[in-house]
């Protein structure tokens, strides 16, 4: 199965516009993806025709939105092959999902002297929540090292695991390096010492097939807006056994069973983790986005994006002074680089004037950039609607920009 990229591009209205009278070339997909018309139409339709709070009303609108939300939950379940729909918790995104697990898990299982393991390539959202937990409970954050090519040092990973470690958290795909980690092996090694695992899948689910049962992840988190869905909606997958063990993170409506002034009992899964009115229309739209990805074929998407990454990598290596940051053998859709004597910000600003959107800076991985001893990178990240013609245009403009800046 191959993608009809020309047809796909017509389904994304934003790609039809111009920036500074130049056709938009959008290479900032690791930050957020654009939205296809089918997703935009769902948002429009539900706010116009069906909007009503879910799970609490007996009237038609409420029942309709409730059913659609629970259908979306099942769509997520099947997309990542979770065993049960109630193992899918809707959140605001990856960051909230990590914070939910960190705070809830720590309140039950973290004590003074315990250890939490992360890797050097983590996004801030998979570092700071664990730091907060360590500070609160007197635990220690341990960092697994990496090699210069951007791959995990598996000896360092194994050495970090011991009886003091209560949980391990690592990314599936690095948002800066593009490295695809061997999450199945890492999970197996942690489980061999009875250590649960949280995997940050924010940069993985839109690029490659994810099977949480095959990986054997205890927790797997991702955001809707990075997989063609709206902002403000995300997913926490948790094994039933773990979600049952964890206490609620937030209190309020919906997450309760019975409330008295003397005692409150909590709702069944997944609702005990979904306090208050959820972003139910966002969840419905995310279900539509995941169906859109499935209909195009995640394997076909991966092949197309891998071709783009390989082509862009070959092209960028011909540019004098360029150093690629992240050269792991297994990568996904991200090309980060620096240019000798030129600040990444300057490159990004000038590329923008030609209609090209790239990301510059540390991409919320400041400790990783500090380790490489660089202030930031230029990051081009690709999606199913990008083309080799766009990469050719990007490379031509890169040459012009560097001639101006050198």
134 catalytic, yes or no?
no
SS3 (DSSP) at 276:
coil
Q: Which ranges of 226-297 does DSSP label H, i.e. alpha helix?
A: 240-245, 280-296
Q: Answer yes or no: are the C-beta atoms of 303 and 291 closer than 8 Å.
A: no
Alpha helices in 175-237 (DSSP H): 183-191, 212-215
Q: Which of 3, 132, 342, 364 is catalytic?
A: 364
164's tokens: 């003091």
Q: How far apart are CA 262 and CA 255, in angstroms?
A: 17
Nearest to 369 by CA among 46, 150, 133: 150
> Can you tell me which residue has the tokens 């194994």?
158
Taking the C-alpha atoms of residue 49 and residue 51, their distance in angstroms, rounded to an integer, is: 6
Structure tokens at 20: 């500074």
Residue 228 buriedness (CB in 10 A; 0-12 / 13-18 / 19+): buried
Distance CA 347, CA 355 (A): 13
Alpha-carbon distance of 178 to 353, in angstroms, equals 26
Cβ-in-10-Å burial (0-12, 13-18, 19+) of 72 comes to buried
Q: Which residues are catalytic?
A: 364
């Amino acid at each position: 199965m191959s993608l009809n990229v020309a047809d796909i591009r017509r389904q994304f209205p934003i790609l039809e516009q111009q920036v500074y009278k130049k056709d938009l070339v959008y290479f900032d997909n690791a930050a957020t993806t654009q939205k296809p018309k089918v997703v935009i139409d769902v948002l429009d339709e539900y706010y116009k025709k069906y909007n009503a709070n879910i799970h609490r009303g007996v009237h038609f609108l409420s029942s309709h939105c409730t059913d659609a939300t629970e259908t979306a939950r099942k769509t997520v379940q099947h997309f990542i092959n979770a065993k049960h729909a109630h193992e899918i918790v809707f959140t605001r995104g990856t960051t909230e999902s990590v914070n939910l697990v960190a705070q809830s898990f720590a309140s039950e299982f973290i004590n003074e002297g315990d250890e939490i393991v992360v890797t050097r390539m983590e996004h801030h959202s998979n570092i700071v929540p664990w730091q907060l937990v360590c500070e609160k409970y007197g635990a220690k954050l341990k960092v697994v090292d990496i090699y210069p090519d951007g791959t995990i040092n598996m000896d360092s990973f194994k050495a970090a695991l011991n009886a003091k470690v209560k949980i391990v958290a690592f990314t599936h795909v690095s948002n800066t390096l593009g490295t695809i980690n061997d999450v199945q092996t890492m999970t197996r090694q942690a489980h061999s010492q009875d250590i649960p695992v949280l995997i940050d899948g924010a940069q993985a689910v839109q690029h490659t097939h994810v099977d949480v049962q095959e990986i054997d992840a205890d927790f797997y988190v991702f955001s809707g807006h990075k997989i063609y869905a709206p902002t403000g909606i995300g997913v926490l997958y948790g094994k039933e056994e773990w979600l049952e063990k964890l206490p609620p993170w937030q209190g309020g409506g919906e997450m309760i069973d019975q409330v008295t002034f003397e005692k409150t009992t909590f709702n069944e899964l997944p609702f005990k983790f979904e306090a208050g009115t959820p972003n139910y229309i966002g969840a419905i739209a995310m279900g539509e986005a995941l169906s859109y990805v499935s209909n195009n074929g995640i394997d076909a998407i991966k092949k197309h994006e891998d071709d783009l990454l390989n082509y862009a990598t070959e092209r960028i290596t011909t540019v004098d002074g360029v150093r690629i940051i992240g050269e792991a053998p297994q990568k996904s859709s991200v090309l980060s680089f620096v240019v000798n004597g030129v600040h990444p910000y300057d490159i990004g600003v000038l590329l923008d004037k030609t209609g090209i959107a790239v990301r510059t800076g540390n991409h919320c991985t400041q400790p990783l950039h500090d380790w490489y001893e660089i202030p930031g990178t230029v990051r081009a990240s690709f999606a199913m609607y990008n083309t080799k013609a766009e990469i050719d245009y990007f490379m031509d403009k890169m040459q012009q920009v560097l001639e101006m800046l050198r």
